[in-house]
Structure 1
Amino acid sequence: MDASLVVILSMAIVAGLFMAWAIGANDVANSMGTSVGSGAITVGGAIVIAAVFEFLGAFLAGGEVTSTIRTGIIDVEALEHDPDLLVVGMLSALFAAAIWLTVASAFGWPVSTTHSIVGAIIGFAVVTTGIDAVQWWDVAAIATSWVATPVLAGVISFFLVLSVQRLIFDRSDPAYFACRYVPAYIFASVFITSAVTFIKGLKHVGLDLSMPIALLYSVLVAGAVAALGRVLVYRLGFPSLEFPTGRQSRFDDVERVFGILMIVTASGMAFAHGSNDVANAIGPVAAIVGVVSTGGVAAKSVIPVWVLLLGAGGIVVGLATFGYRVMATIGRKITELTPSRGFAAELATASTVVVASGTGLPVSTTQTLVGAVLGVGLARGVGELEFGVVRTIFVSWVVTLPVGAAIAVMFYYLLKAMFLGGAG
C-alpha cells in the first residue's frame, strides 16, 4: 500500500470518530429522547447519564456485536488476496454511513445507524469482490431482527402501559400504589441490564462467569438498586405515604414518582445503546486495525481496548453537541409522553436491545425505540399517534440502506484512487 501505516491508522481513527459522533448525534433519541421529552430529566442530566452509561455499555458489552459488524456481514477471507481493499472498503463504509447520519440528524430524522453501516459495508463488498462475498444468510438474520425487535419492543411497552394503568392509575389511591409497585419496575429494569452484562459482557475485563453465578449477581444488583429506589421514592416522592391514605392522589404526583424511576430506565437505555451501537462505529475500525497489525485478513482477532474507548467517546460527544433535533422527534412528535409512558418505552427498548446485543445481532436501536413508543401510543388509542411523523420516519428507514451503500461505493472508488492508484 502506498500510504504509510500511520496515515492509514490515522484515517481509520478519524473515520471511526466521525461515525461515532454521528451515531451519538442521531441515536441520542434512543437513550435519552423519551426521558427529556417526557420532562423527567433535563438535557444536561441526560448528557451526564449518557456519558457514564453509554461508555460502560460500549466497554463492557459491546464486543459481541462488534465482531458481527467486522466479519459477520461479508466474507472477509474473500479479500485475503488483497487486504488493502478491505482497508479501503471499511474506510469507505465509515465515511459513507457517517455522512448520511449527519444529513439525517440535521433534518431530525431518527434513521437507523445499523442500517447505514450494514448497507455501506454491503455496497463496497459488492463492487470489490462481487455479490457472492456478502454473507446473505447472516444479513437476512440481521434484517429479520430489524423487524422483530420493534415489534417485540412495541408489545412489551403496550403491556407495560396497561400494567401501570391497572396497577396504579385505576386504583383508589394512585400515589400510594405507585410507591408500592415502582420498586418492582426498577428491579426488572436493572435485572435485564445486569444479566446480559454479567453473562456476555465482562469478557473484555477478564471475567467469564457461569450462568448461575451471573444470574445470582444480577438478582443481587437489581435487589440493591430496587431497595435504594424504594427509599428514594418515599423520601423524595411522597414523604407522608407510609400507609395507604385512601385519598385520591393527583396524577401529576404519580408522574413524579415515575420521573424518579426514569433515571434508572434512562441509565439502562444508555447502557443498552452503548452495548449495541458502538459496534457500528468501531467494527470497521477493528477490521482495519487487524489488517494493519497483521498484514493480512483474519476472520477472528482481538478487539483492542482503545478501539472500544474510541467508539464510546465519540458517541458521547455527538450526543452532547448535535443530538437535540432527533431528541425532539422521538420525545415529543410521535405521541405525547409523560414519565410513566416514557418509562414503558425505555424499559421495553432497553430490555429488547440489551438481550439482542448479547446474541451478537446488530439490531437497530432507533427502530426498537420507535416500536416501543408506537406501542405506548397504541395503548392510549390509535388517535394519539401522529401518523404523518411515523410515515416520514418509516420512509427514512427504507432509503437508509441503499443510500448508505451508494455513498460507500463512491467513497470506495475515491479512496482506492488515492491509496491504490486505481489498481486492484
Structure 2
Amino acid sequence: MEALFLDPFFILLIASFIGFFMAFGIGANDVANSMGTSVGSKAITIKQAIIIAAIFEFLGAFLAGGEVTSTIRKGIVDPNLYANDINIFIIGMMSALLAGGTWLSIASMRGWPVSTTHSIVGSIIGFVLITKGVDAVSWGKVGNIAMSWVTSPLFSAILAFGLYMSAKKLILDRSNPEKAAITFIPFYSFFVAVVISLVTVRKGLKHVGVEWSDNEMYLFIFVFSFVVGLATAFFLRRNQERIMQDGGIEFAFGLLMIVSASAMAFAHGSNDVANAIGPLAAIVSVLDTGVIGSKAAISPWVLLVGGIGIVFGLATLGSRVIKTVGQKITALTPSLGFSAEIATASTVVAATYLGFPISTTHTLVGGVIGVGLAKGAEHLDFRSIKRIIASWLVTIPAGAAFTVLFYILLRIIFNV
C-alpha cells in the first residue's frame, strides 16, 4: 500500500467528523420525510415528532442500514480504479461527504426538502469526473437511481391513493364511522408492523449476529405484528368515548399516525444512513485492509456515527423542512397523513430490502400527492410542488460542484 498522507488514526478521526456532518445534514433535511405529515396533520407536535424520530431513525440506521450502504459504496464507481491511488480515493470520499453535508445544510436552512440520496450520489459523481473522467462513472447504476425519480413517487402515490380510498370505504364513509374506526384501524396497525418488522428481521438482525430460518422469521413477524395490532385495539377501546365525539375519527387516525410515523422514521433511517456512512465505510475499509473495494463488513460504530448524526441534525434544524412538507403541498388530516406515510414507508422498506437506493423525499412527495388526488386535484398546491421539484433538479449538480471545490481544497491542504 502506498504511504498515507496522514497517520491512519487522524484520517479516521477527520473522516468520522465529516461523516457525522453529512449525517447531520440528512437529519436536518430528511426528518420532514418521516415526521412532516404527522406534524402537518396536527397528529403530533414538532417536539413529539423529534423525540419519536430520534428513537426510530437511530434504530433503523443501526439495525437495517447495512445493505444499502454497500450499494452506494460499490455501485456508482468501481473502487478498483483507485487501487493505486489510495490517498486520492480517501480525499475524494471526504470531499463527497463534505459536499453532501454542505448542500443539505444550505437547503435545510432555507426549508427546501431535497434528496439526500441524490446529494451524495451527485457528490461521488463529481469526484469521479474530476479524477477519472466521464467514462469511469457507472452510468448504468446512475440510470437505475434516476429511474427511481419517477418510479418511487409514482408507486407511492398509487399506494397512498389506494390506502386512503380503502380507509374512506371501510371507515370514513360508513354510517357509523366511529365504530368502524375501532374495528378496522387495528388491521392497518398490523400492516404497519409487518412492514417495519420485515426489514428488521431480514436485513437488520444479521448485522448484530442473529440468524433465523425463514419459518422463525415469519413466525416472529406475525407474532410481533399481531401484538402491535392488539395493542392498538386496546388503546382505541380505552379511548372509545373520545372517538365517539365529534372529530373522534381523526383522533383515532392520529393514534395510528404515531405507529406509522415510527415506521416511517425507521424506514428512513434504514435507507438514508447509507448516504452518510457509505463513503465513511469505504475509508474505514481502506484503512483496515489497505485495499480499495474490500468486502469487509461495515463496523457497527460506523452505523452509530450515522445514526447519532441524523438525530442531532433533526433536533436542531429539522423543523424548517417539516413545515414545508407537512403544510405546503396539501392540507392534511391524520387519515390523509397516515395513508401518505405508510405508502412511503412501504416503498422505502421495499427498496432497502432490495438494496436499491431511492429518495425518501421523492417517495413521500408522491405519497402526499396521491392522497391529495384522492381528495381532488384542486386541493394540491402546484406552485409548491413545482418549487420542490426545482430544488430536486439542482441537487445532483450542486453536490458535484461542491465536491470539485472541496477536492481541490483538501488536496492543497494535505499536499496530496
**Normalising by structure 1, what TM-score?**
0.95
Shift of 1:158: 0.6
Shift of 1:14: 1.2
The match for 1:245 is none
Q: Is the 8 A contact 1:58 1:308 kept in 2?
A: yes
In the TM superposition, what are the counterparts of 1:6-405 in structure 2 within 5 Å?
6-238=9-241, 250=246, 252-405=247-400
Give the Cα–Cα distance (whole angstroms) in 2 for the partners of residues 297 and 285 of structure 1: 13
Give the Cα–Cα distance (whole angstroms) in 1 for the partners of residues 74 and 175 of structure 2: 56
Shift of 1:72: 1.2
C-alpha change, 1:179 and 1:354, in structure 2 (3 Å) is same
SS in 1 for 2:174: coil
Shift of 1:77: 0.7
C-alpha change, 1:149 and 1:212, in structure 2 (3 Å) is farther
**Following TM superposition, where does structure 1 have runs of at least 4 consecutive aligned residues deviating by more than 4 angstroms?**
none
Q: Is the 8 A contact 2:243 2:252 kept in 1?
A: no
- Render the CA deviation track for 1:161-210: whole Å, top value 9, x for unaligned: 11111111111111110111100100011101111221222111111223
Q: Is the 8 A contact 2:115 2:395 kept in 1?
A: yes
SS in 2 for 1:413: helix
SS in 1 for 2:239: helix
| Residue identity (%) | 54
SS in 1 for 2:297: coil
Q: Is the 8 A contact 1:19 1:95 kept in 2?
A: yes
Give 1:300's aligned amino acid: K
Give 1:348's aligned amino acid: A
Candidates 393, 404, 409, aligned match of 2:404: 409
Shift of 1:413: 1.3
| Unaligned ranges ≥5, structure 2 | none
Give the Cα–Cα distance (whole angstroms) in 1 for the partners of residues 360 and 243 of structure 2: 40
Q: Is the 8 A contact 2:104 2:116 kept in 1?
A: yes
Shift of 1:237: 4.0
- Render the CA deviation track for 1:9-34: whole Å, top value 9, x for unaligned: 12111111111111000001011111
Give 1:416's aligned amino acid: R
- Render the CA deviation track for 1:338-381: whole Å, top value 9, x for unaligned: 11111001110111101111111111011100110000101110
Give the Cα–Cα distance (whole angstroms) in 2 for the partners of residues 147 and 50 of structure 1: 27
- Render the CA deviation track for 1:234-278: whole Å, top value 9, x for unaligned: 10243797xxxxxxx63x110000011011001100100100010
Give the Cα–Cα distance (whole angstroms) in 2 for the partners of residues 355 and 208 of structure 1: 20
Q: Is the 8 A contact 2:129 2:136 kept in 1?
A: yes
C-alpha change, 1:137 and 1:210, in structure 2 (3 Å) is farther
Give the Cα–Cα distance (whole angstroms) in 2 for the partners of residues 415 and 147 of structure 1: 36
Give the Cα–Cα distance (whole angstroms) in 2 for the partners of residues 335 and 265 of structure 1: 19
Shift of 1:299: 4.0
Q: Is the 8 A contact 2:118 2:359 kept in 1?
A: yes
SS in 2 for 1:168: helix
Q: Is the 8 A contact 2:95 2:410 kept in 1?
A: yes
Give the Cα–Cα distance (whole angstroms) in 2 for the partners of residues 96 and 239 of structure 1: 49
Give 2:362's aligned amino acid: Q
Give the Cα–Cα distance (whole angstroms) in 1 for the partners of residues 415 and 145 of structure 2: 32
Please say which of residues 22-31 and 206-215 is displaced more in the overlay. Answer: 206-215
SS in 1 for 2:42: coil
Shift of 1:110: 0.3
| Unaligned ranges ≥5, structure 1 | 242-248
The match for 1:246 is none
Shift of 1:129: 1.8
Give 2:340's aligned amino acid: A
Please say which of residues 127-136 and 221-230 is displaced more in the overlay. Answer: 127-136
